[in-house]
Amino acid sequence: MTTKEPCPSCRRKGRDNSGDNFTNYGEGNGGYCYSCGYTVLSDAEKEKRGLNVYEYDESITMTKEIITAEELQDIKQKTGANGKKSRGISDSTYGEYRVRFLYDNETGEVVETFYPYTEGFKACGYKVRKIPKDFYSVGKIGKESELFGQWKWKHGGGKYVLLTAGEADCLAAYEMLEAYRNSRNSTFNPIPCVSSGIGESGSWKQVQQHYEWFDTFEKIIVCYDMDDAGKQAVDKLSQVIPKGKMFVVTLPLKDINKMLDEGKSTAFIQCFYNAKPYAPTGVVGSSALYDAIIKEAQVEKLSFPSFMPRLNDMTAGGISLGTIGVISASTGLGKSSIVNECVYHWIFNSPHKIGVVSMEQNQGQYGELMLSRHIHRKLGKLPPGQKLEMILSAKVVEAQKELFLDANGGDRWMIVDDRDGDVESLKSAIEKLIIKCDCKVIVIDTISDMFDGLTTDEQAVLMKWQKSIVNRYNVAIINISHQRKAGSGEKDGSQGAMGNESSLHGTSTLIKSAAWILMLARNKVSDDLIERNTTHMMLPKNRGAGETGPAGDLYYDSNTHTLHDLDTWLSGSSSKNISSSTT
């Protein structure tokens, strides 16, 4: 039977004087407060989510307001630090994590446990466990919060960090690891132990927000519950934890807290140090393939701009995730204008977030090129004073918001400007784009600059890394590549000669790794005005759709800093003011 009851979350905030904000849908059916969002999941929903206790995610955060000083003081006054061996954990460990307890007025037993959380390493709220298995919160707890216990090691760094499925498991693990460390009279620092505050199944969302912190450790040890829900949560975590650093603990019992309760500390320590590198299951039965095909067919492709209709037709709608592609042209041909036009199109039309690794322009220069495209005025052709005046004009200030900010005021796309970094730092930056920033399409402009200074074998290793990245994270990587110089007496791409796959600069593994290769050629010394501004496209490799050959021609209009399909442009050229400039 549905009833109206006082909302505990509203009441703690001095609200719900009428005592009817919370709608209770009956025993086992959960409830909801339409005022503050306080939620109790139904038993059926818990089972559906694979939860054996109440678990958070951002959709059921009790409140989004950071805890007040008055609320903190109130909790301090009504709670104590004596855990009375609750969950088998000592007061010493509880004290290390500043956990508080509320006691029954008659029996003195613990009835509620208050787990503190921080945001910006300042108190933001408490997640409260009400005995036996009900949860609520005071203050704000969500994916933006630091993990439980993270404040103890806010600067990070070290060999290990342990990530657990819940606060009690985190505390139990810390207790057993500390007992082991002390028994050996170790001079090493304690091993950091943390837990997500939004539940096992959604924990990847919170971990993703703290990518940089996790990346300071050599090994990220994950110990989740030994059930199907725990295994699924581990698989999700693998997508947001720095590549190569994730190790998984296998326990003989259901969870860490049970290991402590049953006196199996020695076995837990052995399991911890025997953690194995995460390895996704690679064997799939054929019965699962049809569902996989359906799922893959629903992932939107990355279409090329409308001025590349032939290329879109040949690639059956564009670029698929999980692939490596190459766009190649001779130096000075104007490929940057073409690539930037593609990036511009993807920024506004792609279903996936774009990340650009700019090796030839710094962030200011690259931003200027993209802004020039957006306002249809080439800023690089203006003298400094006039350029700055235009950039600061009200019209351009509004235009840049459209280009650089999404509807929520966040980053519309991402850029890596690290031209002086070594290959390893660039690889780390790309992984951050994918894991932390959630970019699904990475444009490397140019891969040739990354190849410089590397041996052929080292270039092959870099391409092997790219293949592992696209397979593991289902992303698309688009490599922009220079072409080799033509031999003596031969024309190159800047004189109109179309190269082939063997013309690509660098290792042959670039060719082998690519699912598609787009070659560009333009005769920039032609006497013919239109030919001088026309780029010819050729698709010599097209693994997905199979069609290869001429892929269309592009005309560049420097007055508007814009590209057009040549045939379309010529059909209306009589009414156009044909530019006399080259790219």
Phi/psi at 491 (5° precision): -80, 150
What value does the mean pLDDT take over residues 386-402? 94
Least confident of 36-40, 222-226, 323-327, 528-532: 36-40
For CATH 3.40.1360.10, the residue range(s) in the chain are 52-277
Q: What angle do CA 357, 360, 364 make, to 5 degrees?
A: 80
Task: Name the pLDDT band for 251 (thresholds 50, 70, 90).
Answer: very high
Among 140-144, 326-330, 341-345, which stretch is predicted with the lowest mean pLDDT? Answer: 140-144
Q: Rounded distance, CA 484 to CA 492, Å?
A: 9
- Taking residue 315's Cβ as centre, other Cβ atoms within 10 Å add up to 26
Residue 489's pLDDT is what?
A: 55
In the numeric block, the tokens 């630090």 are attached to: 81
What is the chain's percent helix, strand, coil content, to nearest 5? 35, 20, 40
For 507, phi then psi, to 5°, come to -65, 150
Average pLDDT over residues 25-50: 66
Looking at CATH, the fold of the domain delimited by 52-277 is given as Dna Topoisomerase Vi A Subunit; Chain: A, domain 2 (3.40.1360)
Helix (H) / strand (E) element for 416: namely strand 414-416
What b/e string do you get for 445-479 counting C-beta neighbours within 10 Å, with b at 16 or more?
A: bbbbbbbeeeeeeebbebbeebeebbeebbbbbbb
Distances in Å between the alpha carbon of 267 and those of 167, 270, 449?
20, 5, 50
**Confidence (pLDDT) at 579:** 45
Which of 483, 524, 523 is closest to 504 using CA atoms?
483
Whether the predicted pLDDT of 247 surpasses 60 = yes
CA distance 479 to 510: 9
Q: pLDDT at position 55, please? A: 40
Cα 404 from Cα 115, distance rounded (Å): 39
Retrieve residue 313's tokens.
């037709």
Task: Tally the C-alpha atoms within 13 A of residue 358's C-alpha that lie toward its C-beta.
Answer: 21
Question: pLDDT-derived band of residue 78, with 50, 70 and 90 as boundaries?
Answer: very high
Q: Is the pLDDT of residue 558 over 60?
A: yes
**240-244: Cβ within 8 A, 24+ apart:** 240/204, 240/207, 240/208, 240/211, 240/435, 240/436, 241/207, 241/214, 241/278, 241/435, 242/211, 242/214, 242/215, 242/431, 242/435, 243/431, 243/435, 243/468, 243/469, 243/472, 244/277
**524 vs 51, which has greater pLDDT?**
524
Contact call for residues 139 and 67 (beta carbons, < 8 A): yes
Report strand pairing: 414-416 vs 353-358: parallel
Sheet of strand 100-103: strand arrangement: 100-103, 110-119, 122-130, 134-139
* Strands, E assignment, 140-259: 158-164, 193-195, 217-223, 246-248
User: Which residues, in sequence order, are CB contacts of 381 under 8 Å at separation 6+?
Assistant: none
Residue 579 CB neighbours (<10 A)? 16
Average pLDDT (398-418) is: 90
Of the two residues 196 and 285, the one the predictor is more confident about is 196
Please report the beta strands in 120-177, taking only residues with DSSP state E, as ranges in sequence order. Answer: 122-130, 134-139, 158-164
Q: Where in the chain is the domain with CATH 3.40.50.300?
A: 309-575
241 has pLDDT over 50: yes
Cβ count near 292 (within 10 Å): 10
- Per-residue confidence (pLDDT) for residue 14, from 0 to 100: 67
| pLDDT (average), residues 409-416 | 92
Q: To the nearest 10°, the Cα dihedral for 191, 192, 196, 200?
A: -10
Of 122-136, 503-517, 549-563, the least confident: 549-563
Work out the average pLDDT over 279-288.
Answer: 76
Nearest Cα to Cα of residue 373 among 326, 446, 305, 319: 305
pLDDT for 433 equals 94
* Mean pLDDT of all residues belonging to the chain: 87
Angle between helices 335-349 and 363-375 (to 10 degrees): 70
**Range from 57-66, 162-171, 285-294, 340-349 carrying the lowest mean pLDDT:** 57-66
- 266-289 as b/e, with b when 16 or more CB fall inside 10 Å? eebbebbeebeebeeeeeeeeeee
- Check residue 580 and give its pLDDT: 41
DSSP 467: H
Identify the helix (H) or strand (E) that includes residue 569.
helix 566-571
Q: Cβ atoms within 10 A of the Cβ of 570, count?
A: 15
Architecture of domain 309-575: 3-Layer(aba) Sandwich (3.40)
Write down the pLDDT at residue 575. Answer: 41
The pair phi, psi for residue 34, each rounded to 5°, is -80, 0
The mean pLDDT value for 277-284 works out to 77
Query: 46: closest CA among 34, 57, 38?
Result: 57
Distance of CA 506 to CAs 466, 480, 510, 566, Å? 15, 12, 7, 31
Spatial contact of 152 and 97, defined as CB atoms under 8 Å apart:
yes
What number is the average pLDDT over the span 331-346?
Answer: 88
What is the structure's pLDDT at 47?
Answer: 54
Q: What's the rounded Cα separation, in Å, for the pair 23 and 34?
A: 8
